Amino acid sequence: MTQNNDLQLHVAMYPWLAMGHITSFLRIANKLAERGHKITLFLPPKTQLRFAPQNHHPELITFITVALPPVDGFPSWAETTNDIPAESRNLLMTAMDLTQDTIETHLINLKPNIVFYDFTCWLPELARKHGIKSVIYLSGFIVGVAHSFQFMQFFVSQSDSNAHITSPSPPFPSPFIKMHAYEKQNNDNLSSGNVGGGMSFVERYFKSLQECDAIGVKTCKEMEGIFCEYIEKNYGKRVLTAGPVRPDPHTDELDERFSQWLAGFKPGRPFLAALKPPTGYETIESALPEGFTERTAGRGIVYGGWVQQQLILQHPSVGCFITHCGVGSLSEAMVNKCQLVMIPNAVDQFINARMMSGELKAGVEVEKREEDGFLSREAVCKAVTTVMDEENQVGREVRANHTRWREFILKEGVEESYISSFIKDLQQLLLA
């Protein structure tokens, strides 16, 4: 597909080096390239190889190698968050900050007219220096930014960040978007500590939002129009909606091990759990309770490696998807028929869960103990039963809403209309 425009865009992209962020940037890159626009994506060398199969327009999407400089304590072979424990992510951010001179050289030579970024808060100033517009590109719900904006302002401007505010003050446009006290405590930790450059995560993210020329986001106004308007009205930042940015269909097949196992079941209680090892364990197998593997033999699989999630979710034997509410997982779940049960763990996942369960009513969130967020197996079982029981009233409502939103996202012309408008908005940004 091609699209004639008065101005061909050349968009440079430098995402946070996490698999979900890179995937999201490459998805919008493919949509833009499909319509004749040029993309330059900055990535480390091994990561380029991993994502090369997802580059569907290599004649227009170019991967430029950016090697991460040495940082004390950061493995020389590591390139993404997948390669390191969570406590080392500040070192990855520090390494990305040290690429500033390299990125500037590339921008001078390549002369893009727009740069997309997320956590590299120094990129807007660098872009302005060379006459380039900057767009912070969000791969998740815009509601998270709307909800967080005033909190980020508070934390950045106050020396005392011990206040425990659990929901934004009026006139926030939704009663469903709020956080429990234990979640707020979890996120308060983001306002302290160094995630690179001597800044906390809150300071870095707030600067990224403050300095941009516009906010680009993978969302639809039918879902989040009130939150887009809230940001534009209260914080003076233009919000450019890219639409659903649906995952492209996979051309490969599901791994035979999983396809054969799934083919033997109808939707129900057998489980496939793809998990990362918990803190203190090198493998997921070593963390399992004694006798667990024997007790669940023939009924379930616990797998610690990478899985073809998109292909698994679309398998007809998968009836329910229990997710941590990462934006990539939610995007893939929304276009498939499996039901959603949500167990958010940190940061934006809490707000994503409220958006899905409260605002869109397209899934069920597992109830946790209010005082400390403790999660019980009984609560997980209750949530799964709710969405899977055909006689359950809440389950019927959730399934109907999930179907309605899935049909909207997949409706012919919806994505095309949004991407066309997104391109026009980017072109207008260049004229501002």
Asked if 213 is an active-site residue, the reply is no
Distance CA 409, CA 338 (A): 15
Contact 140, 349 (CB under 8 A): no
Place of tokens 């980020």: 152
Distance CA 419, CA 394 (A): 34
What per-residue string of b and e applies to 151-187 under the rule 16 or more CB within 10 Å gives b?
Answer: bbeebbeeeebeeeeeebeeebebeebbbbebbbebb
H-helix or E-strand spanning residue 365: strand 364-365
Place of tokens 């380029």: 48
* Sign of the alpha-carbon torsion through 390, 333, 229, 236: positive
Distance CA 71, CA 11 (A): 29
Asked if 56 is an active-site residue, the reply is no
Q: Copy the structure tokens of residue 300.
A: 């379930």
Contact 296, 273 (CB under 8 A): no
Query: Could you say which of 21, 106, 147, 402 is catalytic?
Result: 21
Query: Could you say which of 37, 97, 106, 118 is catalytic?
Result: 118
Q: Copy the structure tokens of residue 78.
A: 């590591």
* Residues forming beta bridges with residue 40, ordered by sequence position: 12, 62
**Residues forming the active site:** 21, 118
